[in-house]
Amino acid sequence: MNYEQARFNMIEQQIRPWEVLDDHVLSLLAVVRREDFVPPAHRALAFADMELPLAGASAVEPGQCMLAPKVEARLLQDLAVQKHQTVLEIGTGSGYMTALLAHRAREVLTLEIDPGLASIARKNLLRAGIHNAQVRTADGSKPGELGGPFDVIVLSGSVADVPAALLSLLKVGGRLSAITGFEPMMHATLITCVAPEAMRTTTAWDTVAPRLLNFPEPSNFRF
């Protein structure tokens, strides 16, 4: 397989048409080797326009996956991470989005609930020469003591709504990106902290993504 041609096709045929036009993002996608973060059984699909299941995920929680490349790219463009900024990621997976963020940021702290995936991500990031990202095995729905505040927070999966506990970790001027809502259509939501305890929310585009584990879900009960 010609990985470089496949990478070029991914960028030109999937990502640009999805309104990802930031040259810094496109250049980054060209140099970070996505195939090195894909489970070996799915490596031939590394550049396909689809989610990919992650080997190493818990057998009782088999839904973990890599998001489609165009979704990862659009999230990265929306966040506009700068070199002096610190980033918190919820849902490390195999570490690909972590690697993209680390290239843009000063430091990344990423939380992965599945110990097997956390171990795989650490190895993938080390192999890729990423040294400014720390993978912590932790439940991102219960962030606890993480330090911070952070300039950027990204949820690499969907939630019904963004918990206030995560919003409280944003610096003034900081941005949080999450895919929120319910199937069949969710929303890419960007929340900016404009003043202490004051948030501005925009929803720029629609998509669907698997749920992050353990985040609150509204009750389906109706009177």
Instruction: Identify the CATH number of the domain defined by range 3-207.
Output: 3.40.50.150
- Residues whose CB falls within 8 Å of the CB of residue 70, separated by 6 or more in sequence, listed in order: 14, 15, 18, 20, 49
- Position 68 confidence tier, pLDDT thresholds 50, 70, 90: very high
Q: Give the tokens for residue 135.
A: 């993978």
The terminus-to-terminus CA distance of the chain in angstroms comes to: 57
| Residue type, position 56, single letter | G
Query: Are 175 and 190 within 8 A, CB to CB?
Result: yes
Query: What is the rounded distance in angstroms from the CA atom of residue 78 to the CA atom of residue 22?
Result: 10
Residue with tokens 């404009």: 194
Residue with tokens 């195999």: 94
| Residue type, position 12, single letter | E
Q: Report DSSP state, residue 166.
A: H
**Phi, psi (5° rounding) for residue 96?**
-65, -50
Alpha helices in the chain (DSSP H): 3-9, 23-31, 69-79, 96-104, 115-127, 164-167
Residue 192 has pLDDT above 80, yes or no: yes
**How far, CA to CA in Å, does 70 sit from each of 15, 44, 187?**
5, 17, 15
pLDDT for res 148 = 83
Per residue in 41-54, pLDDT tens? 999 999 999 999 99
Instruction: Quote the pTM value.
Output: 0.94
Q: Report DSSP state, residue 211.
A: B
- Looking at the chain, the whole-number percentage of residues with pLDDT higher than 70 is 94
- Residues whose CB falls within 8 Å of the CB of residue 100, separated by 6 or more in sequence, listed in order: 28, 29, 32, 72, 76
Mean pLDDT of the 70-91 span: 97
| Measured torsion, CA atoms of residues 144, 149, 151, 156, in degrees rounded to the nearest 10 | 0
- Looking at the chain, the whole-number percentage of residues with pLDDT higher than 90 is 88
Mean pLDDT of the 66-95 span: 97
Residue 111 has pLDDT above 60, yes or no: yes
Residue-range domain boundaries for the chain: 3-207
Query: What is the rounded distance in angstroms from the CA atom of residue 177 to the CA atom of residue 154?
Result: 5
